[in-house]
């Protein structure tokens, strides 16, 4: 599945009134996305969501079945608030249409699950726009252990595979191991990593990374950040500072601020998202390690309670195992 779709500058229409739409994926890319998404949610589908199969095999959808459906959704980490909102809409539609057949309730549930994931939509990811800024600056945040550095490497690999020139910034200077790890990934992927000494000013690293991207005419800049400092307030202030430094270099940047969440942490990830969003205005979520949890319903809670779109999902441990998030593919894979 292609991530990078920007057209050459000479191909851009002059004086365009609205940004051009991103290119539609090919049939081969859709098939790849279907396979990746199915692999990512396999444990969830076979686990708690697997109970839906037996639930919808019953001819009529009585009150006891509604209660069981609620239990399944809450148990999948969708959470009480999100589950209540989804099922309220499903019930309203079922009553309005006079529906009692389980098969039709399943169709309505599918529609409402997809709609929930699309609620925070309306914005096309910056990297998929034909008029993407150059360089495209992506700030990546998240707690230590969430899979942040590995996710950055997977993103760099995908962008490079699609023909983009990528530079990484090692702005997590709080841990020497974080810089070393990013350098190792940079060598594996074959992209440049801008780094300073341990304990250096993270803002200076971000500034130098953008300067390097500008001088080398790079397409994509991905900046890593700390996931832990002595206190949570220190961490958030450091992230705000990096954000300010980036804006001094390019007022429109960062063009995306992605929060990497470990899908296996479930509802705990919601509080992380609230904290990071309050500090740096998260524009999208990467659900890392989604293939390692049987509770993939956290995606619905993120979309409904936080209003933040999921941009990518982790589908495995290989470098290629990062997929763009597609609400229809996600829900259909869960209900398969």
**Binding site listing for GTP:** 142-149, 224-228
Instruction: For residue 216, give the H/E element and its range.
Output: helix 202-216
Query: Which runs of consecutive H residues, i.e. helices, occur in 98-170?
Result: 102-118, 148-161
Q: CB–CB of 71/47 below 8 Å?
A: no
Compute the distance between CA of residue 121 and CA of residue 311 in angstroms, rounded to an integer. 10
Q: Residue 101 in 3-state DSSP?
A: strand
Q: CB–CB of 126/256 below 8 Å?
A: yes
Binding residues: 142-149, 224-228
Phi, psi of 284 (to 5 degrees): -165, 160
**Which DSSP category does 60 fall into?**
B
| Residue 151 C-alpha from the chain's centroid | 10
Phi, psi of 47 (to 5 degrees): -90, -115
H helix count then E strand count, the chain: 13, 8
- Within 8 A by CB and 6+ apart from 66, the residues are 87, 91
């Amino acid at each position: 599945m292609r991530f990078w779709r920007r057209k050459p500058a000479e191909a851009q229409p002059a004086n365009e009134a609205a940004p051009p739409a991103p290119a539609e994926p090919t049939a081969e890319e859709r098939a790849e996305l279907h396979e990746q998404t199915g692999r990512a949610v396999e444990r969830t589908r076979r686990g708690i969501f697997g109970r839906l199969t037996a639930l919808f095999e019953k001819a009529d959808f009585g009150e006891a079945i509604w209660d069981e459906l609620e239990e399944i959704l809450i148990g999948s980490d969708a959470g009480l608030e999100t589950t209540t909102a989804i099922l309220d809409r499903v019930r309203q539609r079922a009553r309005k249409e006079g529906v009692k057949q389980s098969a039709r309730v399943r169709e309505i549930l599918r529609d409402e699950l997809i709609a929930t994931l699309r609620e925070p939509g309306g914005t096309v990811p910056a990297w998929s726009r034909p008029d993407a800024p150059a360089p495209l600056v992506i700030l990546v945040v998240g707690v230590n252990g969430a899979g942040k550095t590995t996710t950055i490497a997977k993103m760099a690999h995908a962008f490079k595979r699609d023909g983009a020139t990528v530079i990484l910034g090692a702005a997590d200077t709080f841990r020497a191991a974080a810089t070393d790890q990013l350098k190792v990934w940079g060598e594996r992927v074959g992209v440049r990593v801008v780094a300073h000494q341990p304990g250096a000013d993270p803002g200076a690293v971000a500034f130098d990374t953008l300067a390097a991207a500008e001088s080398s005419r790079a397409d994509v800049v991905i900046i890593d950040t700390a996931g832990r400092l002595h206190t949570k307030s220190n961490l958030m202030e450091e992230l705000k500072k990096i954000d300010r430094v980036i804006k001094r270099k390019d007022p429109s940047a960062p063009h995306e601020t992605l929060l990497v969440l470990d899908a296996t942490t479930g509802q705990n990830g919601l509080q992380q998202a609230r904290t990071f969003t309050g500090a740096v205005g998260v524009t999208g979520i990467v659900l890392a390690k989604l293939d390692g949890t049987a509770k993939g319903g956290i995606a619905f809670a993120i979309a409904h309670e936080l209003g933040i779109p999921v941009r990518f999902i982790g589908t495995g441990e290989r470098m290629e195992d990062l997929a763009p998030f597609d609400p229809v593919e996600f829900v259909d894979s869960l209900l398969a």
